[in-house]
Structure 1
Amino acid sequence: MAGYTAIEQRIDRAAHALIDRAELRGARAGLVEFAVFVAKQAWACVFGFLLLAVIVAARLWYPDDAWLARNDALTLAAVAIQVLMLATRLETIGELRVVLLFHVAGTVMELFKTAAGSWQYDPEGLLRIGAVPLFSGFMYAAVGSYMVRVYRLFDLRFDRYPRRWMTALIAAGVYVNFFAHHVLPDVRWALIALVLIAWWPTMMRARVLRTSIDLPILLPFAGVAVVIWIAENVSTWAGAWSYPDQVHGWEPVSIAKVGSWFLLMIVSVVLVTWVYPPRLSIESAADDVADAVEEPTAGESPRPREQRHASRASRVKTVA
């Protein structure tokens, strides 16, 4: 629990106590593990959930004739959520660095995309850069907050993760294509193919409570992209922004946008792993250690298996 905040440590201890006190086994213990998995996912989404709740509340109850423009109210609310996250230590200063990277990268893209007519915001309020209200950057920051928190809460480990220089090149291509496809051929399908090739062998290990789950990493990539698409539908319905085909009345966002969010996930993952390098699972790291290191020298008795595994675990290195 070293990486947990004080609140998260209390929640973790309560979950362990529930299993220990009831001596749960089998299916009942599995249900507790599943509940903890869902709770951790929800806990990682707290920034995004609060921001989405504020956007919906503004649509339902914010008065049209208020002295403070709704976009400005959303920006102040987003700042308040970020301050709350830090004040309650739900987010660390180190994690805030990653969140700010998302904020800057997202705002730059917003400025270009709104100028190109890809989507638009209501032209109200003072807290804005050009046609982009400042709360928009916090929507990207919410994705960054989820990424760094889920990385910590699940103690994520990776086997056969691609080289980071390779992932950086792919992410750079994705980000550039978001701009360049307005004047050059759109190569998003080629980029998706590169993503599938690069990350296809990668397995992600997530620690839940007492057990860990192994997943092909492309599966959570796709799952998060779908969740963001759903949140995008809610946000556009609430009037946070609108696409050209929604100007005269809301309609669902095209399912094709899931592909765009999938590619944005790649940029997000690369930003996080550049600050927090992906760690190998203990089992994978043990396999990578040369057998000669583990062989006893002359006159030395073999060490117990548990001791050898502990020694191997201490040598886990991050992916270069």
Structure 2
Amino acid sequence: MTDFATTVKPWSPDRWLTDIAPNPALRGFRRFCVEFLFFGLKEARACLFAGLFFIAIFAVPHAGLAGIPRYDLLLIIALAIQFAMIRFGLETMDEFKAICLFHVVGFALEAFKTSGAIQSWAYPDFAYTKLLGVPLFAGFMYAAVGSYIIQAWRILDVRIIHHPPYWMATLVALAIYLNFFTHHYIGDYRWYIAALAIGLYARATVIFRPYDRDRKMPMLLAFVLIGFFIWLAENISTFFSVWQYPDQLGAWSTVHIGKWSSWTLVIIMTFTIVAFLKHIRATIDVPR
């Protein structure tokens, strides 16, 4: 069976992280340290695209470089990172196709949220590559989240036990996405949807391999932790004025803690898309 997020090709540069021989002699505190180190290395590798793109946000001056506006330069850098990852075998074409879906989903949300009638946030700087008021690099921010989940799934050899029925998970993910649009008109139902998600994933457990043994974590805890780190990254991004919320126009302030819940819901939605694509691919690859 071939899987777009689990197969590691023989020439893959990730083999030093994924093909680790069992080491039964490693015990106690020394095992903890080694496993913690490799977990950090695997997480860093899974965040490669997001990390490099985040560094670019720091490095690119607000005024741009060589006459190229900042947003346009960020798009060029994001495309270069994406091309390099495919070129050097750090990302497969199937993974790239999946990530493109996150571009589309993210851009549609950005275009709506920054529209004149809504204006939840804004991209104040000029750019040649703006479409509907949204710089095209913005889609890469959502793609970075999808890239992390796809890469982590493969590198950490992720498996899910007690995964809810895919049709139910898909409906919850669709409700999460639609609520980002509809709450401007018919009320915010995120907490009702979050309650559904909690019930749906209450028994779900993620199995992962930081070194040579399987470890496990409640799926809901994984969602919350990832959402928290994205919220921290959002605070840094708004501090550097990559985008701004209305209450940050006069002076920067911390992004409201409520955004943590929004990002956690985005993670649930993103995870569901990845899991659904994996499920479809596995179904296609089952011998008839």
- TM-score (structure 1 length as normaliser): 0.81
User: How far 1:27 moved relative to its partner?
Assistant: 2.1
- SS, match of residue 149 in structure 2: helix
Alignment partners' CA distance in 2, 1:198 and 1:49: 31
Partners in 1 of 2:76 and 2:64 — Cα distance?
17
Partner of 2:3: none
- d(CA) in 1 for partners of 2:123 and 2:163? 39
Question: Equivalent pairs: percent with the same residue?
Answer: 37
The Cα of 1:129 is off from its aligned counterpart by 0.6
Identify the residue that residue 6 of structure 1 maps to in structure 2. 12
Greater Rg over alpha carbons, structure: 1
1:158 deviation in Å? 1.4
User: How many Å separate the matches in 1 of 2:173 and 2:276?
Assistant: 11
Summarize the alignment of residues 129-168 of structure 1 with structure 2, pairs less than 5 Å apart.
129-168=131-170
Change (3 A) 1:69 1:33: same
SS in 2 for 1:277: helix
- Quote the Cα distance in structure 2 between the aligned partners of 1:63 and 1:121: 14
- Deviant stretches of 4+, over 6 Å: none
Quick one: structure 1 residues 146 and 278, their matched pair in 2 at CA, closer, same or farther if it must change by over 3 Å? Answer: farther
Distance 1:157 1:65 in 2: 44
Give the length in aligned residue pairs.
275
- Mapped partners of 2:15, 2:204: distance in 1: 29
* Corresponding residue SS for 1:183: helix
Tell me, yes or no, if the aligned pair for 1:123 and 1:131 is still in contact at 8 Å.
no
Which residue pairs with 1:77 in the alignment? 77
TM-aligned CA deviation for residue 63 of structure 1? 4.1
Confirm or deny: 8 A CA contact 2:172 2:196 kept in the other structure.
yes
Letter of the 1:37 counterpart: F
SS at match of 2:184: coil
Residue of structure 1 in register with 2:27 after alignment = 25
TM value normalised by structure 2: 0.90
- What is the aligned-residue RMSD (CA, Å)? 2.2
Distance 2:192 2:280 in 1: 25
Q: Evaluate the alpha carbon distance shift between residue 67 and residue 216 of structure 1 in structure 2; reply closer, same or farther with a 3 A threshold.
A: same
Query: CA contact under 8 A between 1:158 and 1:278: conserved in structure 2?
Result: no
Deviates more, 1:68-77 or 1:3-12: 3-12
Distance 2:58 2:170 in 1: 35
Consecutive unaligned residues of structure 2, counting only runs of 5 or more, are 1-5
Q: Which protein, 1 or 2, shows the higher relative CO under an 8 Å CA cutoff with sep ≥ 6?
A: 2
Asked if structure 2 preserves the Cα contact closer than 8 Å seen for 1:168 and 1:270, the reply is yes
| 1:45 corresponds to 2:47 | yes
Q: Unpaired segments of 5 or more residues in structure 1?
A: 280-316
d(CA) in 2 for partners of 1:90, 1:270: 23
Secondary structure of 2:188 counterpart: coil
Whichever residue aligns with residue 228 of structure 1, its letter is I
Q: Is the 8 A contact 2:17 2:155 kept in 1?
A: no
Letter in 2 for 1:232: E
Partner of 1:286: none
Distance in 2 (CA, whole Å) between partners of 1:260 and 1:44 is 22
